[in-house]
Chain A
Amino acid sequence: QTVVTQEPSFSVSPGGTVTLTCGLSSGSVSTSYYPSWYQQTPGQAPRTLIYNTNTRSSGVPDRFSGSILGNKAALTITGAQADDESDYYCVLYIATGISVFGGGTKLTVL
């Protein structure tokens, strides 16, 4: 069973930079997993931020960026703002038609 790992929580100061990661319990994440990232604030539907590792979805500010760092996918938020305080989920496409979510990272901006 494929397990996608994320930090349970993270905090960043307003204006600061934070990098959230997305790994595999067994193995390395590469672009072949087409990592994607989603933001969800309480009571709201998720919003697509990044797909295919580093492509920003329409309307997403360029302070959100995606990459591969070492053996993990990464989401970097540069110049964090108060309304970035959300849950962030990564997804890996692990086989034809099969996607796996990470457990999510709760980001606090304070």
Chain B
Amino acid sequence: EVQVVESGGGLAQPGGSLRLSCAASGFTFASFAMSWVRQAPGKGLEWVSTIGRGGDTYYADSVKGRFTISRDNSKNTLYLQMHSLGAEDTAIYYCVKRGIYYFHFWGQGTLVTVSS
């Protein structure tokens, strides 16, 4: 059974940092691209970042230069390192196993709140 489980969310100070993790199981992690998608309270879904099987990375303009996506295939784990956090980054962050050109399997999400 495919599973992706996010962790690492919580309260962060404005300007602070946080690292999210996503533990994957039930599939060959190294063979799939992975993404982060977020949803601010009461708002729609927003693509944040994708990492390919080969480690190529892509970012939404809203997070470029502040967020870094990475993966550890030996641990079947996806990461999102977030810096310079602002209130606009408050959201549920979903880890998503990708299909080709689409988001295939979604985790339950982890909540990040940026507030003083």
Contacts and interface: CB of A to CB of B under 8 A. Distances in A.
Contacts of B105: 48
Interface residues of B, number: 23
B101 A38 contact: no
Given A40-B45, A98-B58, A45 B94 contact: yes
Contacts of B108: 45
B101, B104, B106: which has the most chain A beta carbons within 10 Å? B101
Interface in A23-73: 34, 36, 38, 40, 45-48, 51-52, 57
A99 B94 contact: no
Contacts of B102: 34, 36, 48, 51-52, 91, 93
For chain A, give the interface size range: 20 to 34
B47 interface: yes
Contacts, number: 62
B44 A47 contact: no
A82 B61 CA distance: 38
A101 B44 contact: yes
Contacts of A45: 94, 106-109
Contacts of B45: 38, 40, 46, 89, 101, 104
